[in-house]
Amino acid sequence: MATYTIKEAKAAPVGTKGPIHWMKHNLFPDVKNSLLTLVGLYLLYLTVPPFLNWMIFDATWSGTQDEITKGGARWIFISEKFDQFMYGFYPEELHWRPNLVLILTVAFLFSFKIFANVKIKAALILSYPVISFILISGGWLGLETVETEKWGGLMLTLVVAAVGIIASFPIGIVLALGRQSDMPIVKTLCVGFIEFIRGVPLITILFMASVVLPLFFSDGIDFDKLLRALIGITLFQAAYIAEVVRGGLQAIPKGQYEAAESLGLSYWQGMILIILPQALKISIPNLVGSFISLFKDTTLVLIIGLFDILAMVTLTNSDTNWLGYEVEGYVFVTLIYWVVCFTMSQYSKAIERKFNTEH
């Protein structure tokens, strides 16, 4: 027989930590890897300095077109056309309205964190779209009406993306639940809808929404062009959300459904209180991925004659005083897309951390 004493934890051996060790280990472990490192550094030297020069050091940041002397980016184009990039043709004196909506959005997101009360949260969720809509579109409470033809730029991009995300989410959840239903008619309808939408490109759906949909309505009913696009995008996105949520639902062990049932919870109580919170938590990365790709897809509204931020680049470049500034425009728009998408992805990580109960 043998007995053993319990050992103390020891410190890690010296020389296995720190930046120098890391470089030795990862960048220059042997001849082959050292060579690759050097080639990599050379490529960085070839590309990064010229890019930075164009973007920043040789760029023209202010003044007029006549004063451009350097060969870098001419950002004066962006500052000249900034309002169009942001608001499209939205009347200048009313820009405060979309601005206020943006501030409200941030305020809503923060207040959502602060208030724990479910009723306040529900009130926030329900009031947000209404207030935002009234502010942007007007025609109520003495606010001047702004027709949707005048909406454009980043504002339009954000409106389309936000409506698409917010409206498609509940529809997608219901479709996912319907797809799992025991009721054959409900199930067939949901599967049929999802598979039909997923089998068709978004462009087709937008065309159908803008060209085919009006055929079903009698003359005289003028269905707003933006509204039609929004309906199309929402239905399209809902089908994808449904499949993402279904993945989450399938990952929930059967025991969770049984425990909910055996405690006497009804179907909807079990779903809302037990199954969906867990399924949606698992689905967060995929949901956000899907939202990010929707955000980028919104630019397709261009083909039915709506001017989102990307369309604004083309439009502003048709100004005869400002020809040949596409590059600056596209770089600027790229940057904006990246900032928004990166923010969404960071926000999703924060939510994931918040909901993590696997300590």
Partner 1 sequence: MSEQEIMISMKDVNKWYGDFHVLKDVNLDIKKGEKVVICGPSGSGKSTTIRCLNHLEKFQQGNININGTELIDDVKVVRHIRAQVGMVFQHFNLFPHLSVLENLVLAPTWVHKVPRKEAIKKAMYYLERVKIADQADKYPNQLSGGQQQRVAIARCLCINPEIMLFDEPTSALDPEMVSEVLDVMVELADEGITMICVTHEMGFAKKVADRVIFMDAGQVIEENEPNEFFDNPQSDRLKLFLEQILSH
Size of the site for partner 1 (CB under 8 A): 22
- Residue 286, token pair as written in the block: 């995929």
DSSP alpha helices (H): ranges in the chain?
19-26, 31-52, 76-87, 96-114, 118-137, 153-179, 184-198, 202-207, 213-216, 225-251, 254-262, 267-269, 276-297, 309-316, 326-355
* Shortest reach from residue 349's CB to partner 1, in Å: 18
| CB-nearer residue toward partner 1: 277 or 305 | 277
Q: Is 358 in the site for partner 1 (CB under 8 A)?
A: yes
Q: Is 255 in the site for partner 1 (CB under 8 A)?
A: yes
Q: Is 15 in the site for partner 1 (CB under 8 A)?
A: no
Give CA–CA dist 206/76, Å, rounded: 35
Q: Is 150 in the site for partner 1 (CB under 8 A)?
A: no
Q: Is 117 in the site for partner 1 (CB under 8 A)?
A: no
| CB-nearer residue toward partner 1: 1 or 118 | 118
CA atoms within 13 A on the CB side of 334: 6
Site string for partner 1, 310-339 (x = CB under 8 A): ------------------------------
* Shortest reach from residue 350's CB to partner 1, in Å: 17
Give CA–CA dist 197/174, Å, rounded: 16
Q: Which of 142, 81, 78, 132 is nearest to 102 (CA)?
A: 132
* Shortest reach from residue 270's CB to partner 1, in Å: 10
| CB-nearer residue toward partner 1: 186 or 304 | 186
Q: Is 278 in the site for partner 1 (CB under 8 A)?
A: yes
228 and 215 in contact (C-beta within 8 Å)?
no
Is residue 262 helix, strand or coil? helix
Site string for partner 1, 279-308 (x = CB under 8 A): --x---------------------------
| CB-nearer residue toward partner 1: 88 or 270 | 270
Q: Is 259 in the site for partner 1 (CB under 8 A)?
A: yes
142 and 293 in contact (C-beta within 8 Å)?
no
Give CA–CA dist 250/245, Å, rounded: 9
Q: Which of 176, 197, 249, 274 binds partner 1 (CB under 8 A)?
A: 274
Q: Is 258 in the site for partner 1 (CB under 8 A)?
A: yes
Q: Is 95 in the site for partner 1 (CB under 8 A)?
A: no
295 and 322 in contact (C-beta within 8 Å)?
no
Q: Which of 67, 261, 319, 326 binds partner 1 (CB under 8 A)?
A: 261
| CB-nearer residue toward partner 1: 66 or 358 | 358
Site string for partner 1, 167-186 (x = CB under 8 A): --------------------
Q: Is 273 in the site for partner 1 (CB under 8 A)?
A: yes
Q: Is 277 in the site for partner 1 (CB under 8 A)?
A: yes
CA-atom Rg of the chain in angstroms = 27
328 and 75 in contact (C-beta within 8 Å)?
yes
SS3 sequence of 178-240: HHCCCCHHHHHHHHHHHHHHHCCCHHHHHHHHHHHHHHHCCCCCCCCHHHHHHHHHHHHHHHH
Q: Is 353 in the site for partner 1 (CB under 8 A)?
A: no
Q: Which of 252, 331, 347 is nearest to 291 (CA)?
A: 347
* Shortest reach from residue 312's CB to partner 1, in Å: 44
| CB-nearer residue toward partner 1: 207 or 355 | 355
Judged by the rule CB under 8 A, the positions of this chain that interact with partner 1 are: 253, 255-256, 258-266, 269, 273-274, 277-278, 281, 355, 357-359
